[in-house]
Amino acid sequence: MSPTTALYGGHDYRAYESDTCSIARTLAIVGDRWTLLVLRDVANGVRRFDELADHLGIARNVLAGRLATLTRAGLVERSPYHEPGERARHEYRLSGPGRELMPILLAIMDWGDRNLDWPDGPPTVVRHAGCGAPIKVSVTCEEGHDLGQRPRLSLEPGPGSRVRSLFIRTIPCYNRQVMTQIIVLNGGSSSGKTAIARCLQSILPRPWLRLGVDDLIEALPPALLEPGSGIAFGQRGEVDVGGGFREAESAWMAGVAAMARAGTPVIVEDVFLGGAASQQRTRARLDGLDVLWVGVRCDPEIAAAREGVRGDRAAGMAASQAELAHIGVRYDVEVDTSHADPMDCARVIAARVT
């Protein structure tokens, strides 16, 4: 019996869904450096947006995304304040569930104090405000036993556990398990697909290629960049697609499928201008492959603002495609980049990749 099997009370730990886990669900909220540092600072009294941005040295858009995530998760609460002569603003305070994360932060700090190199000693000493003694982080059982720094634990399936439907018991089994071969990111222009795709490339364990419809358009001959048979863009962001472009697109997607079948997984960035009909065409070209369909949504006004900043799109394209690209499309997972950070979105998607 392997150690993993023994650890789960006689059950094979690998037979249970990895995502059905309190650790996995918690990390989906707080599982990155900036989120934990925001929680640390808020707990230590740095509660206003400008103060947090200055103390952490974090980009303001990233900070806004982290605070929005923590607020939605109920870990921080917004409290209004008003400085004389200025508009009303909000400061952030830990909620009850947020304060319950403090032992975790203390455990991380304790580990760093003991295992990282601090020539002059730990940079911070935390004491009990009641008696002044240094804080000690420990793990105890309900009987009061202190389990020490390297506790021996036994696990067993809880009432919320879920058995994997496609668990393969033979070891090694990786060549027999169905693995995601293509991730299709569908969303309107300036919805954030490319940023998410790059984040996915950085966190997924296998090397993934990133290809998008923009790559296809850049590779087209001049004859297919004109109205009629090719693809053309109007002054207000409208897109006119002809038969010649469709043929080139079909051949291009066949090439993408061939790469995936040859063993190279691919992230495809696309805009389903025809909604469900576009997905149906793409699904036919990727027939036989394990595809993860991802909807990348964004508020039309926010997408339009991004469009104005980038300067390489016709005004109106982002707003017109924001909802159009999703009409009738069926997804395995959806993300909204209106206020979420690309890495947060990528982690949500990566959790669904097999």
Buried b (16+ CB within 10 A) or exposed e, 26-52: eeebbeeebbbbbbbbbbeebbeeeeb
3-state secondary structure 41-90: HHHCCCCEHHHHHHHHCCCHHHHHHHHHHHHHCCCEEEEEECCCCCCCEE
Q: Contact, 343 vs 33, CB < 8 A?
A: no
Which one-letter amino acid corresponds to residue 323? E
Among candidates 305, 58, 294, which has minimal Cα distance to 196? 294
| Distances from the Cα of 191 to the Cα of 241, 301, 322, angstroms | 21, 11, 7
Which of 12, 41, 113, 214 is catalytic? The answer is 214
The Cα 237–Cα 324 span in angstroms is 13
Q: Are 190 and 310 in contact (CB under 8 A)?
A: yes
- CA 13/CA 3 separation, integer angstroms: 9
β-partners of residue 291 are 182
Q: Say if CB 221 and CB 253 are below 8 A apart.
A: no
In this structure, are residues 102 and 120 in contact, taking their beta carbons and an 8 Å threshold? no
Whole-angstrom distance, CA of residue 285 vs CA of residue 210: 18
β-sheet bridge partners, residue 333: 294
Whether 214 is a known active-site residue: answer yes
User: CA-CA-CA-CA torsion for 111, 114, 118, 124, nearest 10 degrees?
Assistant: 60
Strand order in the sheet with 209-212: 209-212, 266-270, 182-186, 291-297, 333-336
Task: List active site positions.
Answer: 214
